[in-house]
Structure 1
Amino acid sequence: MIQLLLHKKLHTAKGMMPLDIDLAITPGEFVTLYGASGAGKTSTLRMISGLLTPDNGKLVVNDVVWLDTSKKTNLKPQQRKLGFVFQDYALFPNMSVLKNLEYALEKHQDNSIITELIDMMELGELQHQKPSTLSGGQQQRVALARALVQQPEILLLDEPLSALDTKMRIKLQDYILKVHQKYKLTTILVSHNIGEIIKLSDRVCLLEQGKIIKSGIPSTIFATHQMSAKFQFTGEVLSIQKEEVVFIVTVLIGTNVVKVIAQESEIANLTTGDTVIVASKAFNPVIQKVL
């Protein structure tokens, strides 16, 4: 079990904001922090990693105290068994892919994990190249592999896919799920992409002004009302056109464009660019805007 009680006054564009996080995470759970910019998501990850010290609080990971300000316990980042993947990759530009991974090895650690990760992340043909020769998606695969070298208890992901195009983003999501399940990780993601959150997460926590205001299954949290359906996909509304007595809503789902027949009541609050859930109930498609 991971127990977080973190409190810190943050300087934001709107002035001082008290960050107050009280969260328990089950080992092996995939949790996403979601909220507006400045809500405290990245600061929470930085406090878990030890890169930012809370004013007061406690962090216990599988019965090991990483942080307890009341007892002046505060493990250094390198003493915390975690991996951290950032949006900007943070690779060493003068090192090859292989050297970037080897650099992350702990002293006396068996380097067989490097071979395993290169194979899993399909980096074999790239291992002797330097980051500058790689695409954004390839660099992020290297960054993800490097974060796993020390076989962390917690994997932190701070919007790692936001700079990638849709096709590459979907592929990297699959890699993240693969390593999460393979290494039985506890993963904490920061993301603004609702489709991504629904695909990856067991639970989503909504942050507002430094506090978790709601937590639950993503499809339930984001839906405006409950839907029981055979399948559900999340996409972006590309267009809404009226055809006689119905409306045709064109939705981008992943890299596929689908058209959904909708009633006027279903499109009343929809506009181009909205994120929606497309679901099927007894072969009748239903479209619903998400929050």
Structure 2
Amino acid sequence: MIQVNIQRTLHGVQGDFDLNVDLDIVEGEFVALFGPSGVGKTTLLRCLAGLEKPDRGRIAFNGSVWFDAQEHTHVPPQERHVGYMFQDYALFPNMTVRGNLEFARRKGSSRQRVDELLELMDIAELQHRKPNALSGGQKQRVALARALAAEPQLLLLDEPLSSLDPTIRSRLQDEILQLHQRMGISTIMVSHDVGEVYKLAGRVLVMEAGHIVRQGSPAEVFSSGQTTGKFRFTGEVLGIEPMDVMEALTVLVGNQIVRVAAMPDEASNLHVGARVMLVSKAFNPMIIALE
């Protein structure tokens, strides 16, 4: 269990505002922080990692106090067992791929851990290269492997896939989801991508001006529940669920989530990730597969 109750004054483009977060995260949960830039999402991650100190409040992880302003407690980052994947990768340019992972490996842990991660992330053949010889997708894999090398109890991902093309991004989303399901590490991710949040997170925290203003499952937070009106849009299927005699489809259209009902024969040829067209017919949406 992660218990966070912190306050910190931030300096934004519109002036000063307070980061004020009161939050509990269950062990093994995957939580996404969603909202516009400059509202305190990254600062919250950095406070959890110990890279920044809140002005007031308390942070506890599984009963261990990491930060307490009143008690003047501040556990340093290296003692928090946190894996942090930075938005800009932050790989050491003078070290090889293996060197980056070895540097992050927890003291006393087996060197086999690095070998396992190299294989798991499919970067074993790159282990003797330096970051400047890697593609964007390869750097992302190395950065994620390095975050896991410390055997963290908490994984922090700051817009981990923001600079990748859609194909590589989708593949790495699958890998992050599989890693989370396999390892069960409590994970907090910052993302501006609705489809990514819907695919990975079990709970979404929407932040505005330093405060959590809304939270719930991705479906609860993003779905409008409205399917009326005339339209013709293309999108990506994010989920297919049985609903009485119909199938409920969750479709990402642009940066919006739409839920529509489809007949079983319409849904039978669809799968998660399929591209579809939503077309209105007498105000009832129709689903047409595009691939």
The answer to whether structure 1 residue 193 and structure 2 residue 193 are counterparts is yes
The answer to whether structure 1 residue 230 and structure 2 residue 248 are counterparts is yes
The corresponding residue for 1:123 is 123
C-alpha deviations, 1:39-95, integer Å up to 9, x for none? 111111111111111110111101111111111111011111100001211111121
The corresponding residue for 1:150 is 150
Partners of 1:215 and 1:96 in 2: CA distance = 41
Partners of 2:134 and 2:282 in 1: CA distance = 47
Describe the SS at the equivalent of 1:161.
coil
The corresponding residue for 2:203 is 203
The code of the aligned residue for 1:223 comes to: S
Deviation larger for 68-77 or 100-109? 100-109
Please, which of 251, 258, 273 is the counterpart of residue 276 of structure 2?
Answer: 258
Following superposition, the deviation at residue 264 of structure 1 comes to 7.7
Q: Is the 8 A contact 2:105 2:151 kept in 1?
A: no
The answer to whether structure 1 residue 81 and structure 2 residue 81 are counterparts is yes
Q: Which runs of no fewer than 5 residues in structure 2 stay unpaired?
A: 228-242, 256-270
TM-score with structure 1 length normalisation? Answer: 0.82
The corresponding residue for 1:95 is 95
Partners of 1:207 and 1:155 in 2: CA distance = 20
TM-score with structure 2 length normalisation? Answer: 0.82
- Number of residues of Structure 1 aligned to a counterpart in Structure 2: 255
After superposition, the Cα gap between the structure-2 partners of 1:30 and 1:95, relative to the gap in structure 1 and judged at 3 Å, is same
Describe the SS at the equivalent of 1:114.
helix
After superposition, the Cα gap between the structure-2 partners of 1:264 and 1:161, relative to the gap in structure 1 and judged at 3 Å, is farther
Q: Is the 8 A contact 1:151 1:183 kept in 2?
A: no
Q: Is the 8 A contact 2:276 2:287 kept in 1?
A: no
Partners of 1:91 and 1:112 in 2: CA distance = 21
After superposition, the Cα gap between the structure-2 partners of 1:264 and 1:70, relative to the gap in structure 1 and judged at 3 Å, is farther
Q: Which runs of no fewer than 5 residues in structure 1 stay unpaired?
A: 238-252, 267-279, 287-291
The code of the aligned residue for 1:21 comes to: V
The corresponding residue for 2:24 is 24
The corresponding residue for 1:212 is 212
The answer to whether structure 1 residue 163 and structure 2 residue 163 are counterparts is yes
Partners of 1:137 and 1:44 in 2: CA distance = 26
Partners of 1:85 and 1:120 in 2: CA distance = 17
RMSD of equivalent CA atoms: 2.2
C-alpha deviations, 1:163-214, integer Å up to 9, x for none? 1111111111111112212221000000000000000000000111111111
C-alpha deviations, 1:198-254, integer Å up to 9, x for none? 0000000011111111110001110112786434232428xxxxxxxxxxxxxxx99
The answer to whether structure 1 residue 62 and structure 2 residue 62 are counterparts is yes
Describe the SS at the equivalent of 2:5.
strand
Please, which of 267, 285, 288 is the counterpart of residue 287 of structure 2?
Answer: 285
Deviation larger for 123-132 or 187-196? 123-132
The corresponding residue for 1:45 is 45
Q: Is the 8 A contact 1:166 1:254 kept in 2?
A: no
